[in-house]
Amino acid sequence: MAADLVEWLGLLAGCLTTVSFVPQVWLVWRKRTASDISLGMYLLMCSGVAMWLAYGLLIHSRPVVLANGLTLLLSSAVLVMKLLFDGRRQRSMPAKQPGTV
């Protein structure tokens, strides 16, 4: 019984932290910009979550694998949109003329 409770606690915690990424993914997708999002933060986040996923696989923990697998998908989506949308914006900006500010 206690082991089931611990498993459910892990699943609930994983659901809450994973679902917390949905509003960010939706906002970036809807606005087609991620200029206010830190590239470094999302690179570190995706790397850390990928390591948690690997850890969960190694210890055979369903809550850790599910939560981090989904979180990796969502945070990677934001990271990819950041790279795509910011790259597009950079290419569409006019080049500065020498001597202008």
The pLDDT tens digits for 5-50 are: 988 898 899 999 999 999 999 999 999 999 999 999 999 999 999 9
Can you say how many angstroms the Cα of residue 23 is from the centroid of all Cα atoms in its chain? 11
Q: Give me the pLDDT at residue 2, please.
A: 83
The secondary structure element, H or E, covering residue 14 is helix 2-19
Q: What percent of the chain has pLDDT over 70?
A: 90
Residue corresponding to tokens 């995706």: 46
Ramachandran assignment for 94, one of left (phi > 0), alpha (psi -120 to 50 degrees), beta (any other) = beta
Please state the domain extents for the chain.
Answer: 2-91
Task: Specify the CATH architecture of the domain 2-91.
Answer: Up-down Bundle (1.20)
